[in-house]
A and B are shown apart, each in its own frame.
Chain A
Amino acid sequence: MVKNIIFAGFGGQGVLFAGKVTAYAGLSQGYEVSWLPSYGPEMRGGTANCSVVIADRPIGSPLVINPDVLIAMNKPSFEKFAPLVASGGIIIYDSSLIDSKCDRDDIEIYDINATELSQSENLKGLSNMILLGKAMKVVGILKDKSIEEGLVKSVPPRKSELLKHNMRAIELGKNN
């Protein structure tokens, strides 16, 4: 099993953090993992993305070009990466911010109004975790316990009070 994942959105939406939680969740389940951020001028106000690979064998290229799973948090990212998703792959996107359509019939496409939900549920800034929850339910590789462990490893101890909000956001994503 090799799952190539891309998290993509605006800088500041927490795409790198969502990727880190996923990588740690994979690690706690005994998988090989890698996490590679985009870095460069495109991060200032433009799109940010990260490649996460979860595999049951040593990982070759950590750079994902054709993702099996795309988690898109803004329109430019959706439009850039949707055509690159591997055949049989999955897209999960934030329908609050993305009104683009993808007419491919060889992939599964799921949407969730993550940004609206994060505001109405008093979880501002946690649309990334709502999308992650949805993605993990759809993809089905990582167990709830692993995601929770991934969160504990990724949230610095001085911000541990934020854990419960992140967990609630993930739950919300799973159930919507």
Chain B
Amino acid sequence: MSEKILMKGNEALAEAAIRAGCIRFFGYPITPQTELAAYMAKRLPKIEGGVYLQAESEVSAINMVLGSAASGARAMTSSSSPGISLKAEGISYIAGSDLPCLIVNVQRAGPGLGGIQPSQADYWVSTRGVGHGGARLLVFAPNSVQEVIDLVFDAFELAEKYRIPAMILSDGLLGQMMEPVVFPDRAPVLLEKPWAANGHRDKRNKNIINSLYLQASELEEKVRQRELRYREIEEKHSKASEYMMDDAEYAVVSYGATSRVAGSAIDAAREKGIRVGLIRPVTLWPFPSKQIFEKSKNLKGILAVEMSSGQMVDDVRLAVNGNCPVNFFGRTGGIIPTPMEILSEIEKMSKGDIK
């Protein structure tokens, strides 16, 4: 069991989902996500109760997830940025119906069809709910293939506990790279779902899954109930990891694949005597605001690094709340920032070049 094997991020995510009890996958091919769906196509039909279905479009796939989740099954879909835009309506309906599911976004560059190289330009849309109506998604941002596996279990379990959709926000780099992984001996926690519309057999009242409420007062109450769950999630489930932060005067804040590159830059900066560390949000919603706020009290500056023109940096500034200056560095269009570029930004910051 404990033998390390090499797996692509996309394939490891698929295998982890199966081990986490996912029995329904609905998808539509898109680069750089396709290995995930291909893996599911091979494996899921061999699992008891397993269904893999390639829908005719992303819109169909997300609505199949809605139906499957409504029946109480652990269901998921995966896509890449343009496909996630197509799923936005369905994601809002899933959130409005208080259904748990997993949505994977292996991000590529945008906007529009954009390109097929890695990107993190879907931060805003992911952390603000994807669809209309002010809903939230749990958003997880792994930075290694091993962490992909661990977070898939967390994503399904928290989604079901709080009855909200969860997203793994991956990217083309993390999806395509192979790293050694070990699958943990972790049995999925499967909760009772007394709300599931799976046939009442004349033994109970019927369950109705719905997101339409024409009485404003009734809908406001629904939204308030959901908000209470959101507050509890923010209180209990935000997560960030730290590297070299004990004596740090400066910090880089970076998530996902970019945080790997940032880590290399921090090692190089440390060799030059710059006391810099890394704060890496593992959950993007809820954002680890408290942890960043506390750390920022003792910092001279923060550098946010992303594969975008600057999106997460908004949440960093809100979290820091003026405690220290916040700089930004990013590459877009599918370009991955290099350790040298990030190092040079850290050096600038440490010499007082702060915006």
Contact = CB atoms under 8 A, between A and B. Distances in A.
A39 B6 contact: no
B233 interface: no
Contacts of B179: 33-35, 59, 62
A35 B4 contact: no
Main secondary structure on B side of the interface with A? mixed
Contact of A61 (B31, B116, B180, B339): B339
B25 to A, nearest CB: 22
B176 A36 contact: yes
Contact of A60 (B117, B173, B267, B340): B267
Describe A's contact surface by its main secondary structure.
mixed
Interface string A12-40: 00000000100110010000111111011
Contacts of B173: 36, 62-63
A102 B95 CA distance: 59
Interface string A33-60: 1111101100000000000000000111
Given A37-B176, A40-B116, A60-B261, A27 B336 contact: no
A65 interface: yes
A81 B173 CA distance: 20
Contact of A23 (B178, B267, B339): B178
Nearest to A150: B6
Given A27-B180, A37-B176, A60 B263 contact: yes
Interface in A56-89: 58-63, 65
B180 A60 contact: no
A58 to B, nearest CB: 8
A27 B339 contact: no
Contacts of B261: 60-61, 63
A49 to B, nearest CB: 13
A164 interface: no
A20 B339 contact: no
A39 B340 CA distance: 23
B264 A61 contact: yes
Of the listed residues B117, B172, B178, the one surrounded by the most CB atoms of chain A closer than 10 A to its CB is: B178
Interface of A: 20, 23-24, 27, 32-37, 39-40, 58-63, 65, 153
6 contacts: A39-B116, A39-B172, A60-B260, A60-B265, A61-B339, A62-B173
Interface of B: 4-6, 31-32, 116-117, 172-173, 176-180, 260-261, 263-265, 267, 336, 338-340
